[in-house]
């Protein structure tokens, strides 16, 4: 397991330990808190666990076919606009998901824009 997973498991264990409040009574019997439900556990987890993606964000554009996308020049303009909006350098890639019609139009630009 990775260090991140080990730390997360440790945090979960501490959360449950703190909520249960294990103690021994006078007769040396184990006593623990039962006065909480999943909402309390959930809130404690949300407070202490850092959720989120640890990967760098991807630049993915999903184009839908409409009247303007029938024009090859407008497809190229849209690609250039997205590259500018995402501040992509010449070495960055722009991943585009499209239907077959748009795909075939994009192939025409592959030689000009090798990083799409």
SS3 of 42-92: HHHHHHHCCCCCCCCCCCEEECCCCHHHHCHHHHHHHHHHHHHHCCCCCCC
**Nearest alpha carbon to residue 36 among 18, 19, 12, 17:** 19
pLDDT, tens digit, for every residue of 48-65?
A: 877 766 656 665 666 555
The domain spans of the chain are 3-48, 60-107
Q: What share of the chain is helix, strand, coil (3-state, %, to 5)?
A: 45, 10, 45
Residues 15-33 pLDDT 10s:
989 889 988 888 888 888 8
Closest by CA to 106, choosing from 72, 70, 61, 80, is 72
pLDDT band of residue 14 (cuts 50, 70, 90) is: very high
Segment among 17-31, 38-52, 71-85 with least mean pLDDT: 71-85
- Beta bridge pairs of residue 97: 62
CB contact set of 72 (below 8 Å; sequence gap of 6+): 105, 108
- Mean pLDDT rounded to a whole number for the chain: 77
Report which DSSP code applies to 28.
S
Choice between 106 and 116, residue whose per-residue pLDDT is larger? 106
pLDDT of residue 31: 87
What's residue 64's pLDDT? Answer: 57
Is the model's pLDDT at 66 over the cut of 70? Answer: no
Q: How confident is the model at residue 111 (pLDDT cuts 50, 70, 90)?
A: low
Q: What pLDDT does residue 71 have?
A: 67
């Amino acid at each position: 397991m990775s260090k991140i997973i080990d730390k997360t498991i440790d945090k979960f264990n501490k959360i449950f330990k703190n909520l249960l409040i294990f103690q021994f009574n006078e007769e040396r019997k184990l006593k623990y808190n039962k006065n909480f439900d999943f909402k309390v556990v959930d809130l404690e987890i949300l407070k202490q666990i850092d959720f989120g993606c640890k990967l760098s964000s991807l630049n993915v554009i999903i184009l839908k076919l409409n009247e303007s996308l029938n024009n090859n020049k407008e497809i190229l303009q849209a690609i250039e606009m997205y590259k500018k909006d995402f501040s992509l350098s010449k070495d960055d890639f722009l991943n585009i998901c499209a239907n077959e019609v748009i795909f075939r139009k994009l192939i025409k630009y592959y030689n000009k824009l090798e990083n799409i």
